[in-house]
Structure 1
Amino acid sequence: MSRTIHLSPPDVGPLEESYLVAALRSGWVAPVGPELDAFERETAARTGTRGAVAVSSGTAALHLALLAVGVRPGDVVVVPTLTFVATANAVRYTGARPVLVDCDPLTGNLDVALVEKLLTRLSDRGERVGAVVPVDLFGSCADYSTLVPLCERFDVPIVEDAAEALGATHAGRPAGSFGRIGVLSFNGNKIITTSGGGMLLSDEPELLARCRYLATQARQPVPHYEHTEVGYNYRLSNLLAAIGLAQLRRLDGMVARRRHLRERYEKLFAPVPGVQVLGAEDRAANCWLTTVVVDSARTGWEPGRLGEYLAARDIETRPVFKPMHLQPAYSDAEALLTGAAEKLFTTGLTLPSGSALTEADTTLVLAAIEGFIAAPGQHATHPD
């Protein structure tokens, strides 16, 4: 029976096992413990921030981050339309209203020129903008050199959704360190994993203290259970933090493998007219997922056809995120669009990118793609 080659499977092994067993044997099985403290401390150091708070998911981190910067019901929060739904969902958890912005067609990240246009429009309407939430798509940082001063000019905080970008940098600065607060995800398919989990990062201790408080059911510091406001059960467990601590030790090697894999894809597709690797110019990306963009008028085949071909050989692929404005749950959201996100959705295909891929896996994937490219007539998409 053949084994499926997945898009980005967890990359865990003996080191993670040893850290987890050590945490179990130490007796620190409850939600807090030394591994949790160390994981927060080392992640903050890695991202160049003053502190961190580990929580149960990246979505929980986004929710807390928005609350911490003061987003309240009725506010507007600027969100990319090209993102995973969690980014927009977290806005609605707060009672705020997401307003969607299209992307830069060359990177998939937030189109900063559109953000400026939108902030001007919202300001003219007298609406309160609670935050701008850029997403570092597929592990490539947004254009913070332009976005940060823009948001400062409008006095709007940035909540950086760096869920996919740990290990990436922009202008020499680590992902997760931009704006007032940043968010990481440690879901099973991310650069590093804690099975499930997330992290808040900030240079502002008071923001992190607020997040930590809300993440522990907003319990008051008294001997009995006392709660003056609604909180959440969002903290990461010490056992899961132990896995994350081991993963953090291996981060550089895992990013290097993903970058090497992207380089091999770039070399493979370089002679193919009509195919480009999304964001290939960004050599500071962590290459969490590698996406190819296909101009079917030039190739004679659509990305979905390649995906079907690879699926028949037990190789997983995935389209680019379906834009939020096309999602039924967000079809009524206000949006400033150019068509760039929709085009990437229809022309993009994400390929196996995980650091856990063996050389045999990689060879198989590349050979399968070569086989598809070599016989375009068998897979061509012909007009009716």
Structure 2
Amino acid sequence: MNYRPGRIFMSAPHLGGHEKNYVQKALDDNWVSTSGPNLPGLEHDICQHTNARHAVVLNTGTAALHLALRLLDIKPGDEVLCPTFAPVASVNPILYLGAIPVFVESEANTWNMCPETLEQAIKARLETGHKPACIVVVHLYGMPARLNELLQVAEQYGILVVEDAAEALGSRYGGHQVGTFGKMGTFSFGGNKIITTSGGGALITEDAALAERALYLSTEAQYPTLYDAHEQISYNYRLSNISAGIGRGQIEVLEKRIKERREVYNFYKDHLSDTGLQFIPEPKNCFSNRWLTTVLLDPEQSKSPKEIIAALEEHNIEAGPLWKPLHLQPLFQNSPYYGDGLSKGLVERGLCLPSGSSLTEEELRKVVQVLRNALT
């Protein structure tokens, strides 16, 4: 990240004011470790917000997804269905366990996993003698996936679902918080997310046994004996009490941050719709936190996303491309893929605009003006 003075970032952290109170209390009480009152406090806050029964806070969203797959007993050689249009962090945990990602293409309305293509992929894998062990559904850029249809397909074939809601804390589908539909859900609190713990994540579930085991595996699986007994591979994945304190202050302003990000989206839509840019509407039943405002260039636009991003960069404005489809990445060149190439077409026309909740109207107007000039 380039920290030149006056820079307009794509998604900067935005503190609410109470974070320092929780952190100061932790320092005063000497809770400077991966234990302390802010940890169960933040877990309680997450459950209150999402209506999940159990939460375990961890040091990254990737750790949360890794643990979720581990808890489902994903083994080397197992196949896990996942979207190709997603960040690599949504798929790396599959590789950590020696499993095989099977990529499924997106659909045009939400840019998330296509239910019809998912079923085609399952049928094709069954014909090869491989029943997928799990489905990872990602809610991209804060937009909920078509959960009803995806879950119906999963249930029909008896496959469990994990939701990667790293970018979608606070987004809702049918009035319910994303992350609560699958067997487990995961969130990220990285520095560019809608709220942050300066790095961190969480796993949520309705299953008390899964939550207990997640906590156990994330704290090095120690049995309380005179000499700690270890019987299986485990991890040092617990969030720190200091970071959890930041999270407690952040979650207090989550609804405000969602409102502000949605206002950023609406500002761009109101001021740029006449340029030919295409904005992604919310389908029926979906409420997006609008973590990032993403747009598609007019098909007749002669300039590429790369050129538009460079033009914004000249004015100290950070923008970015869409996620490159993972089945096109060298790391996954031998992984199965099912789809029609839709995400490749999106990337060839897509942009992520500055979307932070702390953007001022003056900054937004600057982005609009520079973007207009770049487009014309």
Question: Shorter chain as normaliser: what TM range?
Answer: over 0.9
Q: Secondary structure at the match of 2:133?
A: strand
Q: Which residue of 2 aligns with 1:318?
A: 320
Count of aligned pairs between the two proteins: 372
**Is this contact kept in 1: 2:103–2:338, CA < 8 A?**
yes
Shift of 1:26: 2.0
Q: Secondary structure at the match of 1:206?
A: helix
User: So what's the TM-score if we normalise by structure 2?
Assistant: 0.95
**Is this contact kept in 2: 1:136–1:162, CA < 8 A?**
yes
The one-letter code matched in structure 1 to 2:339 is: L
Q: Which residue of 1 aligns with 2:304?
A: 302
Q: Deviations over 1:72-94 (max 9, x none)?
A: 11110001001110111100111
Q: Which residue of 2 aligns with 1:380?
A: none
Paired residue for 2:109, among 85, 106, 111?
106
Paired residue for 2:349, among 347, 350, 366?
347
State the Cα RMSD in Å: 1.5
Farther-moved stretch of structure 1 (328-337 vs 280-289)? 280-289
**Is this contact kept in 1: 2:122–2:131, CA < 8 A?**
no
| Identity rate, percent | 37
The one-letter code matched in structure 1 to 2:246 is: I
Distance in 1 of aligned mates of 2:257 and 2:87: 23
Q: Deviations over 1:1-26 (max 9, x none)?
A: 74211100111253222221122112
Shift of 1:279: 4.2
Distance in 1 of aligned mates of 2:131 and 2:71: 16
Segments of structure 2 that go 5 or more residues without pairing to the other structure are none
**Is this contact kept in 1: 2:16–2:250, CA < 8 A?**
no
**Is this contact kept in 2: 1:19–1:246, CA < 8 A?**
yes
User: So what's the TM-score if we normalise by structure 1?
Assistant: 0.94
Q: Deviations over 1:73-118 (max 9, x none)?
A: 1110001001110111100111110000111123211111100111
Change (3 A) 1:279 1:322: farther
**Is this contact kept in 2: 1:269–1:276, CA < 8 A?**
no
Distance in 2 of aligned mates of 1:11 and 1:222: 43
Q: Which residue of 1 aligns with 2:68?
A: 65
The one-letter code matched in structure 1 to 2:88 is: V
The one-letter code matched in structure 2 to 1:346 is: E
Distance in 1 of aligned mates of 2:281 and 2:190: 23
List structure 1 runs of 4+ shifted beyond 6 angstroms: none
Distance in 2 of aligned mates of 1:2 and 1:59: 31
Q: Secondary structure at the match of 1:319?
A: coil
Paired residue for 2:271, among 268, 272, 286?
268
Q: Which residue of 2 aligns with 1:215?
A: 218
Counterpart check, 1:142 vs 2:145: yes
The one-letter code matched in structure 2 to 1:364 is: K
Segments of structure 1 that go 5 or more residues without pairing to the other structure are 377-384
**Is this contact kept in 1: 2:110–2:144, CA < 8 A?**
no
Shift of 1:30: 1.9
Q: Secondary structure at the match of 2:91?
A: helix
Shift of 1:223: 3.4
Q: Which residue of 2 aligns with 1:231?
A: 234
Shift of 1:235: 0.4
Change (3 A) 1:13 1:251: closer
Paired residue for 1:278, among 273, 277, 280?
280
**Is this contact kept in 1: 2:56–2:215, CA < 8 A?**
yes
Q: Which residue of 2 aligns with 1:382?
A: none
Q: Which residue of 2 aligns with 1:381?
A: none
Q: Which residue of 1 aligns with 2:121?
A: 118
Q: Secondary structure at the match of 1:271?
A: helix
Distance in 2 of aligned mates of 1:369 and 1:322: 22
**Is this contact kept in 2: 1:278–1:292, CA < 8 A?**
yes
Q: Secondary structure at the match of 1:132?
A: strand
**Is this contact kept in 2: 1:295–1:302, CA < 8 A?**
no
Q: Secondary structure at the match of 2:144?
A: coil
Q: Which residue of 1 aligns with 2:183?
A: 180
Q: Which residue of 1 aligns with 2:94?
A: 91
Q: Secondary structure at the match of 2:138?
A: coil
Q: Deviations over 1:246-272 (max 9, x none)?
A: 000000111100000001111122222
Q: Secondary structure at the match of 1:46?
A: helix
Distance in 2 of aligned mates of 1:352 and 1:158: 32
Counterpart check, 1:29 vs 2:32: yes
